[in-house]
Amino acid sequence: MDRFKLMETYVAVVGLQSYTRAAKELGVTRAMVSKRVQDLERTLNVKLLNRNTQRLSLTEAGADYYESCTSLLTELRAAEDNLLAKRGAARGEIKVLCSKTFGETTLAPIVADFCREYPDITVLIMLKDMGPDENDLISRGFDMSIRTQPVEDTTLVARGLVGLPRVLVAAPDYLERHGTPEEPTDLLRHNCLNPNGARTYDWEFDGPSGKTMVRVSGSLRANSSLVIRHAARQGVGIAMLSRYLVTEELQTGALVPVLAGYAVAERMLFVVYPKDLYQPQRMKIFINFFTARIQALNEAMQGTVQPPRIAPQRKAAL
């Protein structure tokens, strides 16, 4: 069999840490993936993987060969992309990792428009809420991730695209029943909703007397902005959410700003991709397309009711 096909299969198995996931990724059966790895080991006359029922692990030779395969396959794809670029054609696949909420509410329509405009480029979107340590794009097979958490991994580039404004909101019904806060410390007497799942959380404001931080809590905890938005619309409490999630509600009056005289820090939106690796034309096109659309969307939101803005917190969690 084609040696490059064997190498591609081996890299997928190692990167995804699973024969089953690799088979799904490559569009073949699990048995075929297993056979390819065995054929590769037989050809090289060396054991590459230690296998047991719980996990896969690399032998020393397997780790060295994995690094070589990754580098070689990257160079091969770069050569192919260069050839296509010279012919004026952008084609191939882009694999993007993105958080669920942003992906479902904002990235999805942008990608749909991209696919219509560039039908020769295929896009795989994987939605997953990412922690700060989930940065290993290369071994997991992704070209880039879109996230509001910066990265400290020196092998990756985190390119800031735009600050995503946040706003404190509540339903008019809630404010009628519980009163409207006039300053941040008033929130201590309110049911405060935050999409991070923690029991307590610190909300920071910048107002006439400077910065104020208030530790608040609420009756509903969820690691989902959409759950918190729904609760706020139902009059459960006061929520701090990215404005792109509540633009329609602010326009219709279903939600209204709270503490509008105080500024809340924006979240910076990043596109993260491997450093020092060739960036194919299709990836440049996608990043430029996405950047233009998200900046236009952010500008369009300026027409909604909004509080003052302060600089983005580049190390804020999603």
The pLDDT, as a whole number, for residue 68 is 86
Phi, psi (degrees; rounded to nearest 5) at 47: -85, 125
Question: Which residues are paired to 146 by β-bridges?
Answer: 98, 271
pLDDT tens string for the chain (318 positions)? 578 888 888 888 887 788 888 888 788 888 999 899 999 898 888 999 887 666 788 888 888 888 888 878 877 777 776 666 555 667 788 889 888 888 998 999 999 999 999 998 999 998 876 655 455 555 567 888 888 877 777 777 888 888 888 999 999 999 999 999 999 999 999 999 988 777 778 898 988 878 889 999 899 988 888 999 999 999 999 999 998 899 899 999 999 999 988 988 888 888 888 776 667 788 888 999 999 998 888 777 665 444 444 444 443 333
Sign of CA dihedral 78, 5, 88, 294: negative
Between helices 19-26 and 3-16, what is the axis angle to 10°? 130
> What does pTM read for this prediction?
0.65
Phi, psi (degrees; rounded to nearest 5) at 190: -120, 160
Between helices 60-86 and 3-16, what is the axis angle to 10°? 120
Structural domains of the chain, ranges and CATH numbers in brackets: 3-85 (1.10.10.10), 86-162+269-301 (3.40.190.10), 166-267 (3.40.190.290)
The pLDDT, as a whole number, for residue 210 is 83
